[in-house]
Amino acid sequence: MILILKSGIDTGSREYKQLLDFLASKKSITTRTHSEIGTQQTVTEVYLVGDTASLSIGEMEGLPGVEQAVRISQDYRVLGRHQADHRASGFTYNGVRFDQDNLNVFAGLCAVDNPHNVETMLRALRERGQVCTRMGAYKPRTSPYSFQGHGKSCLPYVFELAGKYGIRVIAMEVTHDEHVNEIRTALADAGNPTGVMLQIGTRNTQNFELLKAVGRQKELPVLLKRGFGITLEESLNAAEYMASEGNLKIVFGLRGIKTNMGDPHRNLVDFSHVPVLKRLTRMPVCIDPSHSVGSRDRASDGVLDVFHVTAQGIISGANMVLVDFHPDPSNALVDGPQALRMDELDYFLEDIAIARKAYEERLKLRRKQ
């Protein structure tokens, strides 16, 4: 059960202390408190863990400071969408809104290689009004002999250039909790010219110590990619690991499932799960067409497969697109064969706009029924 406290009630208030004193008398129940600090108010929620079946909604809503009591109906206690649950979803980070109703595009370099290519990418994004990007500094690879990223050495120029070109949020993968500290330090040293969304890659979806460490810090939002060899439920529980530690700023990413049933694509495209995720949880949903398709193959109509699957995800209601671009794909240090070229950026953004408009028209049609 979740107790949503009234506006203005925080962990230092008299009502909160009275509430915890009452709950402490329930020996079969433990509590965990989450406070989400917004621009205008702080929302505090108390999670009751244990035997809550005997607790009535009416009794809980009559306790000091309680606005609403929600009985949990799914395993995803923090992030799930529960019956009679009217909590607002989504979050705002560094001026960019992330929720289940909007769409953000993160086009950029899968792996940072040099300042010139970073600047070329970011300049192109600014010229097109884009404020988000992806930049890989830490790259876990299948082979130990493959390029694994420049690490913290590239962070200063990436953040400086992001600030120069008005980039508000950079999606950046981390594989160790020390990477989080390096990113936060580099941001502070640069004067916080931009923001970072920490990315948990598919190989680390069940790295539970990393998930908990990322969850304990509440400053930076997180993009969690679905594990390519585990079930959707297992991946959602990975997101719940982070949320249970206190970080609710989570976007769930679909990037394909590893199986030869997806051949000739790199992975089996799983974007049909966009509406499923939005039904089960309150998280915004990201699609990663680059790593799902893994090539620049074209359909018989001449359209790149990566464009087609992007449209499939967006027309189903995706809220974020993570896609690889590179100024010189043939010399990219990671995943060059799947990267889109800079002269395809306008085409890609326009194609996305068409798909998004089609999704919005579908919603209008549904409302008429």
Lookup: tokens for 1? 């059960």
Asked if omega into 264 is within 30° of 0 (cis), the reply is yes
Q: Which residues contact 73 (CB under 8 A, 6 or more apart)?
A: 80, 82, 83
**Model confidence band, residue 69 (pLDDT cutoffs 50, 70, 90):** confident
Q: What is each CA distance from 100 to 110, 140, 226, 267, in whole angstroms? A: 25, 29, 18, 25
Residue 1 pLDDT greater than 90, yes or no: no
- The domains located in the chain, with CATH, are 2-71 (3.30.70), 92-368 (3.20.20.70)
Contact 271, 278 (CB under 8 A): no
| Confidence (pTM) | 0.86
DSSP structure string for 83-97: TT------EEETTEE
> Where does 115-228 show beta strands of DSSP type E?
132-134, 169-173, 195-200, 222-225
Q: Which residues contact 238 (CB under 8 A, 6 or more apart)?
A: 200, 205, 206, 208, 211, 224, 227
Identity at 195, one-letter amino acid code:
G
Q: Which residues contact 361 (CB under 8 A, 6 or more apart)?
A: none
DSSP structure string for 42-103: EEEEEEEEE--TT--HHHHHTSTTEEEEE---SS-TTTB--TT------EEETTEEESSS--
pLDDT of residue 77: 73
pLDDT of residue 174: 97
**Inter-residue long-range contacts of 301-304, CB under 8 Å, 24+ positions, other chains counted:** 304/340
Query: What are the tens digits of pLDDT across the range 2-37?
Result: 898 988 888 888 999 999 999 998 888 888 888 776
Of 7-11, 230-234, 239-243, 248-252, give the lowest mean pLDDT range: 7-11
The arithmetic mean of pLDDT across residues 283-306, rounded, is 96
Identity at 351, one-letter amino acid code:
D
The arithmetic mean of pLDDT across residues 83-87, rounded, is 67
Q: Dihedral through CA 84, CA 28, CA 249, CA 40, nearest 10?
A: 70
In whole angstroms, what is the distance from residue 30 CA to residue 8 CA?
A: 24
Q: Residue 345, exposed/middle/buried by CB under 10 A (0-12, 13-18, 19+)?
A: buried
The arithmetic mean of pLDDT across residues 76-80, rounded, is 79
In whole angstroms, what is the distance from residue 122 CA to residue 34 CA?
A: 36
Query: What are the tens digits of pLDDT across the range 181-223?
Result: 999 999 999 999 999 999 999 999 999 999 999 999 999 999 9
Lookup: tokens for 95? 């001026």
The arithmetic mean of pLDDT across residues 102-129, rounded, is 97
Q: What is each CA distance from 284 to 26, 260, 294, 321, in whole angstroms? A: 35, 28, 24, 11
